[in-house]
Amino acid sequence: MGFVFDTIKAIKKDLPTQVKLVAVSKFHPIEAIQEAYDAGQRIFGESRMQEIDKKHTALPQDIEWHFIGHLQTNKVKSIVPYIHTVQSLDSWKLMDEIEKHASRIDKRIRCLLEVHIAEEDAKYGFSFEKCKQFLEEGLWKDCKYAYLGGVMGMATNTDNHEKIKEEFRSLKIFFEEIKENYFSDNDEFSEISMGMSDDYKLAIEEGSTMVRIGSSIFGNREY
pLDDT tens figures, 124-173 = 899 999 999 999 999 999 999 999 999 999 999 999 999 999 999 999 99
Q: Which of 175, 219, 212, 173 is nearest to 194 (CA)?
A: 212
Judging by DSSP bridges, how do beta strands 109-114 and 83-89 pair with one another? Answer: parallel
pLDDT per residue as tens digits for the range 107-127: 999 999 999 999 877 778 999
- pLDDT for the residue 124: 86
Give the model's confidence band at 221: pLDDT under 50 very low, under 70 low, under 90 confident, else very high. Answer: low
User: Alpha-carbon distance 106 to 55, whole Å?
Assistant: 23
Residue range 16-25: mean pLDDT, rounded: 97
Angle value at C-alpha 113, between 86 and 195, nearest 5 degrees = 80
The percent of residues above 70 in pLDDT, for the chain, comes to 98
CB neighbourhood size of 203 (10 A): 29
Q: What is the pLDDT of residues 52-85, one digit of tens each?
A: 999 999 999 999 999 999 999 999 999 999 999 9
Q: Has residue 1 got a pLDDT over 70?
A: no
Residue 112 falls in which region: left (phi positive, over 0), alpha (psi -120 to 50) or beta: beta
Q: Is the separation of the CB atoms in 9 and 40 below 8 Å?
A: yes
d(CA 186, CA 180): 10
For residue 120, the model assigns a pLDDT of: 78
Domain borders along the chain are: 3-218
Superfamily of domain 3-218: Alanine racemase (3.20.20.10)
Strands (DSSP E) contained in the chain are: 20-24, 43-46, 64-67, 83-89, 109-114, 146-152, 191-193, 210-213
**Residue type at 20?**
K
Closest CA to 62 of 86, 35, 40: 40
- One-letter amino acid of 85: T
DSSP characters over 159-218: S-HHHHHHHHHHHHHHHHHHHHHH-TT-TT--EEE---TTTHHHHHHTT-SEEEE-HHHH
